[in-house]
Each structure stands twice: as structure tokens, then as C-alpha cells.
Amino acid sequence: MKLTNGEIYMARDPLRGDPLGRLMAVKWPVRTSMNLVNLARKINNQFMYICEVRDGLIKKHGIIDEKTKQPMVRVDSEAWPVFKKEHEELMAEEVEIEVIPFALPEMVAATCDKCGHNMDRPCEIEGATLIALGKFLMMS
């Protein structure tokens, strides 16, 4: 599957709460869990590469923030347009990763909070998570 670095970054983006990581923290049926683990394994290497290059761009064009002591690029700085252009080029770069889209189940196992009875409940996922992972999921 052809993916852009932006699609991969969005799936693991810490500022979005790591959508893939959040899904991996849910108790799923075995097949769904295996699909999520396989997806994470396949995109993590590229995600780490993207982060390294992105951090390099921030160090190259940014300044050290006095409060956090971390490099940052301010939107109102002279370096912003060049940083933005290079960042957009990084995120638009396409890579080929062997990923097979999969479906999430509509129901997941749960336990009743009041009586402890085992039951199925509808699978509930935030829209932002689905947007970030939409390329990897099949909708039934």
C-alpha cells in the first residue's frame, strides 16, 4: 500500500494522543489484536524515521525555547516559511508498506460495572481516531 509520511505520522502522532496506541490498548478479539500489532510493527520504523527528520528540521530552523529548553520553530519567525516547505515535503513523501486493511468488530467483550456479568457492548471509537487510521481500516 502506498502511504505518505503524513498518513503514517498521523496514525502515531503524540499530539493526537497516538491513535494507533489507543486502539492497541483496547481488549479486542485475537484476530483484531494481531492485525493492530502487525500494523504497528510495519509502520513504526517509518514513523521513527519521520520523527528523526522532523526533529532535525526543527533544530535546523528553530530556536531553543526558554521555558521548555526544547527547539521550536515559531510561526512568526523568518525561518517558518522554509521550515514549513521542508516539513510539507517530508510529509508528502510516499512510501510503500505492505499493509492489509482490516475491519474492527462492531461488538467487543465487556463486563457489567454493576453485577460483573460478561456481555458484549458496541465498539465505541472517537472520530479523530478513525480519521487518523482510516487508510488502514475497512468499514463494513
pLDDT number for residue 140: 58
The whole-number average pLDDT for the span 125-136 is: 86
Kindly state the cell numbers that stand for 139.
Answer: 468499514
Q: Return the SS3 of 64.
A: strand
Question: Which residue type, as a one-letter code, is found at position 34?
Answer: M
pLDDT number for residue 45: 92
CA count, 13 A, side-chain hemisphere, 63: 10
pLDDT number for residue 123: 79
Kindly report the pTM of this predicted structure. 0.81
Q: What distance separates the 2 farthest-apart alpha carbons in the chain?
A: 61
Q: Pick the residue with more confidence: 95 or 128?
A: 95
**What are 74-119's pLDDT values in tens digits?**
999 999 999 999 999 999 999 999 988 888 888 776 677 777 777 7
